[in-house]
Structure 1
Amino acid sequence: MNLETLNYKISSRATILLGRESVSKVDGAVIELVKNTYDADALMCFICFDIKNDCIYILDNGTGMTRETIENYWMLIGTDNKRSEYQSKRNRIKSGEKGIGRFALDRLGSKCEMYTKNKASQGLIYWETDWRNFEQTGKTLDQVKAKLGYLNERLESVIPRELLIDIQEINEKGILDEFISNDTGTLLKISGLRDRWTTKEINNITNSMGFLIPPSEQRDYVICIKKSPEDDCLIIENDISDEYDYKITAEFDGEKFIVELDRNEFDLNKIPSEVFELGHFKEYPYRYEDFKRKKIKFDFTVPELMNTEQDEHINLVKEIGQFKFNYIFMKLALTEDSKETFFYKEISKKRKLWLNSHGGIKIYRDHFLVRPYGDPNTDAYDWLGLDARRANNPAAISHPSGNWHVRNRQGQGTLLISRMTNSCILDKSSREGIIENEHFSVFKIVIKNILAVFEKDRAHIGKGMKDYYDIINKRETTKQEGKEIANKFLDEKIEKDGESASPPNQEEVKKLAKTVQYLEEEREELISEIKLLRSLATNGLITTSIVHDLKGINARLVNRVDSLQYVIKNDIENMISRHLNDLGKDDTFLKSWITVITNQIKKDKRKRLKKDLYQTIQDIIDVMEPILAQKQINVEFNLDEKQVHKRIFVADFESIIYNLIINSIEAFERTKLSVRKIVISLETDEDFTIHYNDNGCGLGEKFKNPYDIFKFGATSKYDKDGEQIGTGLGMYIVASTAREYNAQYIITEINNGFGLDIKFPL
């Protein structure tokens, strides 16, 4: 048998589809073209939106291109020249490497005209392509042509007049004097725009441009934007704030971490010398001389920073490669951490505005932004999960545990990586984000551990300051003396057998009043902590009650995408609809669960606010509705036509309703009822009453005294061997929360389901 060889062919249309898939968003397309100017060693990139004339201009003063470069690289799809020739003459590491960035032109418009001049070129090169030619049916890639020719002109002569005027003004200001002096660079004119450009879209692009280059690199590269030919030229700058409380500089050389803390938060002139006599401030790096020096340097090995001796984990960290991390912390108010005196420096009102536009931790690969990390308009704004970590452990700076954590909105960070030294941190092919592999997961832990060095330092100082505050205010001493005065007065009264005891003198009255004040403050702190613990316990109970559903969704998470892709590819219409419905149900269920979990730990839920009780309970039920629907539970919600406003902690009423519903869910799981029903009725007479009923299995004979269900640890859940598997927390939380409002709780049904009335006095 004779075998012949055949050549592969690629459809011209397939190339376009590949490109548009890789550069799917319009802002991403503009950024890809700006990246190309940076890679070309440009000192300036100039963008002009001429929407009236249906075109966009992008101009740079980089090295330009020769005919050979255009043929062998620019028009070679998937070229890897930037992978092998990765460093420019200005020692910039080129950010592109997949050879598909030029498809950003097609994403923006149907036609592109390019004027480019390189020192080695015979003259100014004109290149033109119509991307619609790639969409012609039946054509292969080699049948699509672009036009190229030489012009006997300077690059300056083809630049639109409006741009030239601005360039001349920039040169006169001395910002950059090399823009057109070398007569090299590239001008792109993109026409036949595919998108409807509004002022909002142009403003969004303008705002995002300020972060493309790290602040420290912007003196070597400037981006200018004209929102229209008539508008003034904007020089895009990423403002650097001179104001900060802490500055963290960290560097990893592949073997060890060098972390430097710059303390700028505390006013050394305000701190009394007695503070440094406390044990907290007698050792390095917390002595007076350490505060005066401001900067503290630490060296960590990988095991020390990561707190592990496991070789596998240590090697993963080392494989990440060298990187740098710069971070500044700014608290937003002098009172946001604690009421104690911390001898802070004064802060400006501009902090919040600056952090709103510049906050978050951004990643830069080879000095160019990796989107969308740190972008406040995306879910990746808090890509490290700092706010979730803070919510799980909301300790104040002065908490004895020393476990204070920074919020995402309190800082701005710059993380510098490189394709040369961090080859395990891989970009997604979509050009948006980094592949979530094992190395990137470890990388995130490394950054949080670096932040923990600063957090522990600040918490140590906060704890010491609180100790000093307690000493000078004699809190503990006053409390003890107050208790002794109270005991003395009570003992004296008993001894005199009911006769009038001698009243305390004025000094003793002051101490008693101070004692009451301190105890009241401690009581408020304990109440806040109890409410947080209740919320967290309720969160755990909710998750436990729906764990079977969550496991089912978890098993489908990856496979559902593959299945949907298969039915779409094979155009199976009825299955597409079915898969989309399943996706919608799962996502609605997950959203409801996440909303319940995250809402409960919000700080405002633990503040006593005046609320409409009817609306509050309605909102609580609405949030749970998708979870109840998943469990095939119907909720009947009845209310009279009255309104009741009362100062409450919303978290308390959430704890009551959620725990009642959780118990009903578990009761329904133990009975195979075809109809699952919960009835919640609200009634106001002399009291505000919540009537709650379900048609589950009830308490049955498990409790001789039904009210034992409200005791801590009491449960009706046992396994087949008679071992207790319930937590005994749910109804205990209901009862203890009700008691805080002097509410009565009356069991109305225990056999044919479960019924409970809770009466709140008005």
Structure 2
Amino acid sequence: MSSNGVYKIRPAGRHLLTIGRDLIQDNYAAVVELVKNAYDADSPCVVIKFTAEDDLKQYEITIEDQGHGMSRETVINKWMVPSTKDKLERKISPAGRIMQGRKGIGRYAASVLGENLLLETVDKTGEKTIVFVEWSSFEHSEYLDDVEILVENQHSEEHSGTTLTIKGNSSNYEEWNKKQFDKLRFELKKLISPTPAESIINEEYKNFEIRLIISGFSDIPDVNELIESYPIFELFDYKITGKITSDGKGKFIYSLQKAKNTIDEEITIDLGRDTVCGDLIFDIRVYDRDSESIERLIQRGLRDEAGNYVGKRQAAHLLNVSNGIGVYRNGFRIRPLGDAEFDWLKLNEQRIQNPSMRIGSNQVIGYVLIQSEEQSNLIEKSARDGLQENLSYERLKEITKEVIGKLEERRFSYRRKVGLSKSSLKVEKELEKLFSLDGLKKQIRKKLISQGMKEQAADEVITLITNEETSKEKSAEEISRAVATYQGQATLGKIITVVMHEGRRPLNYFRNEVPRISRFQKKLLETGDKKNIDEIAAIAKGVESNAAAFSELFKRLDPLASGRSTSPKELRIKQEIQGCFDVFRQDMEDNKIQVEINGNDDLTFLTWQQDIQAIFANLIDNSIFWLKERSSIEDRRILVNIESENNNLIYVDFRDTGPGIDSVLIEDGVIFEPQFSTKPSGTGIGLAIAGEAAERNGLKLAALQSSTGAYFRLQMKDITNE
């Protein structure tokens, strides 16, 4: 008997509850969804009222707006249709607001909050439609279309708008206590971006208000408040604001509020390519968390709702609950981006690697405003729990961290200047100060003579100190050599990727081809066919060439891996620099980076080979990183010019065609400070090591201003001091 036929998919009755209860994260998310619906209805405000029947352990929630309301036809054909694409197609409300609800499921969030729902809506013509829904009927019905819902219709003189009345049973009642209401208030405060500027949010959005009313709950004071953003937002230590357009170009303003009489700085950003996530507007504010900074934050005006200055503990708590960088679309936050516990930018991971330079997620409050899904390709998940993890979302994270990086660079510089951060340890200079006793000897000699000792006797005492100083200098040299060795090994660690990249191919050849030798040998013994000898010979030739590649690779790395010699040697400077480039040869070929080295081939310089390797390996590594980072750069070159006179080195210029170095950082000299790095995950040791290696050899490494990329000069110290 044939059972062929055409059938239809019939959703189960509980499918509607799955849309509501299972896809909506929690009670707060449910309220937020219903508030968004009020915004979409062009209402100037929404009132959320919780009224408890404490003796019965029940409550009633009303969410009332003054929007355009819905007609009977709209209720039946759109509101009662799950996952309708009505708002997705319309995109814009009658008053010009961009629709927040786009999935067609937000209204079913009411099922999370109570056991039934009464919808009363009046449209602009005075038509009032009433719908009553008992959510349990969906649970008990086999199919969704088995559930019958009564819809009443009548004329009304009431103002247009919609009121949702939700009845909560004892189970719902027990979910709400003071802590839960505080969280709801927090969610509502963070729902709309704080202090929206006219250039960011249109007037219609600015006229939208949220009021929260709570009454009748035991042990919870009654509340009737207009939701406003936290005042802490205006009391920042550091701030960066601005916009990046879809072509990757942007302008920002950096502000410092930690010191008086500071001037805002304008920053230009060029990503070198399209954002892939539309236009982006940023407002990011950072707060230092040490005790003194918290005290100054309070003094700048951090008060509670009664107008009193808060205590340090309250201020720290407010930072703890307020922190986070929210992502907003048309004025509404996309949860959970911006939640204090949701570090979507992985700021804490970066801070662990470099705590002096990077900020943690608990130090920042701010937001990024994004465009519509069509313009940005930043798509909200159906479950209202963030953005889909596509290429556009990855680029949003990268760009946001780059903007934060501009603030971090300037914060690092300011804290170093005013002594708020740990002082950077320049090993060579500190050793020199530690073992140099010239100032002490002068003071001792003066003191001895003033106390009546003869000059000859005083000189003898000073001679004893000088002899001890000389012996200590040998210890200083040994420490310096040890430090240089460690720094050389740290530089070697930076190029492990070179070993991994170039060593992978020979290793793969050995792993895949060498086992074939035994197979061909076996065939040769079994058949006597000399073709197998040819196959073995071909593999052997491949082994020989790949072994040579390994040998050449380690030969290039050997100077960095070797220990430091006891005395410097006369080295051909051009040859040594070429050797550094050879280490990165494959990486440069893969990324089409050209190199040109000009200078006297026979010019020598008395130096330690490991120090020269450390200087140029770090410069080359940085140039390759930034030339690769900016994929839009077509002319990728590194140019080295060695200038000499009468066979004496004057200076070496090192340039590239990458994005260059911010002039502010060059003027400040902060780029050579340990722990300072403009790389997103940089440790800040590369240029610091290069700078100290130069110092050990009577050289100075400096960054110079350039409009065509990074520009460094390695110069004799006596020349730089002229």
TM-score range, shorter chain: 0.5 to 0.7
The Cα shift of 1:477 comes to 13
Residue 148 in structure 1 maps to residue 151 in structure 2: yes
Partner of 2:352: 391
The answer as to 2:86 corresponding to 1:107 is no
Give distance in 1, aligned partners of 2:440 and 2:223.
75
1:233 positional shift = 1.2
Question: Which residue of 235, 239, 264 corresponds with 1:295?
Answer: 264
Is 1:128 equivalent to 2:132 in the alignment? yes
Query: For residues 191 and 346 of structure 1, what CA distance do their matches in structure 2 show?
Result: 45
Q: CA deviation at 1:255?
A: 0.5
Q: Aligned pair count?
A: 427
Alignment of 1:556-595 (within 5 A): none
Verify the 8 A CA contact 2:116 2:166 in the aligned structure 1. yes
Which SS does the other structure have where 2:20 is aligned?
helix
Q: 2: distance between equivalents of 1:480 and 1:356?
A: 43
How many angstroms apart in 2 are the aligned matches of 1:205 and 1:435? 25
- Whether the 8 Å CA contact 2:238–2:258 is kept in 1: the answer is no
Provide, for residues 638-662 of structure 1, a one-character-per-residue CA deviation record: whole Å limited to 9, x for no partner. Answer: xxxxxxxxxxxxxxxxxxxxxxxxx
- 1:362 and 2:366 aligned: no
The separation in 1 between residues aligned to 2:64 and 2:151, in whole angstroms, is 19
Residue 249 of structure 1 aligns with an amino acid whose one-letter code is T
- The letter of the residue matching 2:175 is W
Alignment of 1:171-570 (within 5 A): 183-193=159-169, 195=172, 196-199=174-177, 200-217=179-196, 219-228=206-215, 231-240=222-231, 241-265=233-257, 267=259, 294-303=263-272, 314=273, 318-333=275-290, 352=316, 354-376=318-340, 378=341, 380=342, 382-395=343-356, 404-420=357-373, 422-463=375-416, 479=433, 483-486=437-440
| 1:623 corresponding residue in structure 2 | none
Q: TM-score, normalised by structure 2?
A: 0.52
Residue type at the aligned position of 2:334: V
Residue 452 (structure 1) shift: 1.0
Q: Give 3-state SS (helix, strand or coil) of 2:14's partner.
A: helix
1:366-400 Cα deviation digits (max 9, x unpaired): 21111122222x3x1x22122221220123xxxxx
**1:74 Cα deviation from its structure 2 partner:** 0.1
Contact preservation (8 Å) 1:214, 1:367 = yes
Contact 2:132 2:149 (C-alpha < 8 Å) held by counterparts: yes
Question: Could you say which residue in structure 1 is the equivalent of 2:634?
Answer: none
Give, in angstroms, the shift of residue 76 of structure 1: 0.9
- For 1:127 and 1:246, locate their aligned partners in 2 and report how far apart those are by CA, in whole Å: 52
Q: Tell me by how many angstroms 1:239 deviates.
A: 2.6
Closer, same or farther: CA 135–187 of 1 in aligned 2, 3 Å: same
SS in 1 for 2:250: strand
Q: Is residue 62 from structure 1 mapped to residue 67 from structure 2 by the alignment?
A: yes
Cα distance change on mapping 1:265 and 1:216 into 2, 3 Å: closer
Root mean square deviation, CA, Å: 4.3
Aligned to 2:671: none
Distance (whole Å) between structure 2 residues aligned to residue 346 and residue 368 of structure 1? 31
Counting only pairs closer than 5 Å after superposition, residues 648-659 of structure 1 correspond to structure 2 as: none
Percent sequence identity over aligned pairs: 26
1:35 is aligned to 36
Q: Deviations over 1:446-494 (max 9, x none)?
A: 1111111122233344555669x99xxxx9899489621456899999x
C-alpha distance 225-479 of structure 1, shift in aligned 2 (>3 A): same
Letter of the 1:189 counterpart: T
Query: In the superposition, relative to structure 1, how do residues 481 and 502 fare at CA in structure 2: closer, same or farther (>3 Å)?
Result: same
- Structure 1 residues 257, 106: closer, same or farther in 2, change over 3 A? same
Please say if residues 246 and 261 of structure 1, whose CA atoms lie closer than 8 Å, have aligned partners that are also in contact: no
Structure 1 distance, partners of 2:108, 2:63, is: 15
Q: 1:16/1:348 Cα in 2 relative to 1: closer, same or farther (>3 Å)?
A: closer
In the alignment, the residues of structure 2 paired with residue 130 and residue 345 of structure 1 have an alpha-carbon distance, to the nearest angstrom, of 50
C-alpha contact (below 8 Å) 2:126/2:157 kept by paired residues: no
* Structure 1 runs not aligned, ≥5 long: 156-182, 270-290, 304-313, 338-342, 396-403, 513-518, 538-762
| SS across alignment from 2:383 | coil
State the shift of 1:421 in Å: 5.1
Q: Structure 2 CA distance, aligned partners of 1:327 and 1:9?
A: 49
- The answer for unaligned runs of 5 or more in structure 2 is 197-204, 303-309, 424-428, 449-453, 470-475, 494-722
- 1:85 positional shift: 0.7
Q: Per-residue CA shift, 1:164-216, capped at 9, x if unaligned?
A: xxxxxxxxxxxxxxxxxxx1111111114452233232232122211111123
Alignment partners' CA distance in 1, 2:351 and 2:90:
44
Aligned partners of 2:111 and 2:292: how far apart in 1? Answer: 53
The secondary structure found in structure 2 opposite 1:38 is helix
* One-letter amino acid matched to 2:194: P
Pair 100,344 (structure 1): closer, same or farther in 2 beyond 3 Å: closer
CA contact (8 A) 2:195 2:229 kept: no
**Hey, what's the Cα distance between the residues in 1 that align with 2:26 and 2:254?**
40
Matching residue of 2:91: 86
* C-alpha separation in 2, matches of 1:154 and 1:322: 45
Q: Deviations along 1:606-650, whole A, 9 cap, x unmatched?
A: xxxxxxxxxxxxxxxxxxxxxxxxxxxxxxxxxxxxxxxxxxxxx
Q: Once the 2 structures are TM-superposed, how far is the Cα of residue 64 of structure 1 from its aligned partner?
A: 1.0
Deviation per residue, 1:667-726 (Å, 9 max, x gap): xxxxxxxxxxxxxxxxxxxxxxxxxxxxxxxxxxxxxxxxxxxxxxxxxxxxxxxxxxxx
Letter in 2 for 1:18: I
Residue matched to 2:100: 95
Spell out, residue by residue over 1:328-369, the C-alpha distance to the aligned partner (whole angstroms, 9 max, x if none): 2232448679xxxxx999756756454234222111122111
SS at match of 1:242: helix
C-alpha contact (below 8 Å) 2:85/2:104 kept by paired residues: yes
- Report the CA distance between 1:96 and its aligned residue: 1.2
How does 1:149-168 map onto structure 2 within 5 Å?
149-155=152-158
The letter for the 2-side match of 1:20 is R
C-alpha distance in 2 between matches for 1:242 and 1:40: 31
TM-score, structure 1 as length reference:
0.50
The verdict on how the C-alpha distance between 1:347 and 1:253 changes in structure 2, with shifts beyond 3 A counting, is same
Distance (whole Å) between structure 2 residues aligned to residue 227 and residue 344 of structure 1: 31
503 and 114 in structure 1: CA distance in 2 versus 1, 3 angstrom threshold:
same
SS at match of 1:413: strand
Q: What letter matches 2:398 in structure 1?
A: I
8 Å CA contact 2:122–2:156 kept in 1: the answer is no
SS at match of 1:234: strand
- Alpha carbons of 1:259 and 1:153: their partners in 2 closer, same or farther (altered >3 Å)? same
The answer as to whether partners of 2:138 and 2:147 remain within 8 angstroms in 1 is yes
Query: For residue 50 of structure 1, what is the aligned residue in structure 2?
Result: 51
Confirm or deny that 1:21 pairs with 2:25: no
Q: Which residue is equivalent to 1:398?
A: none
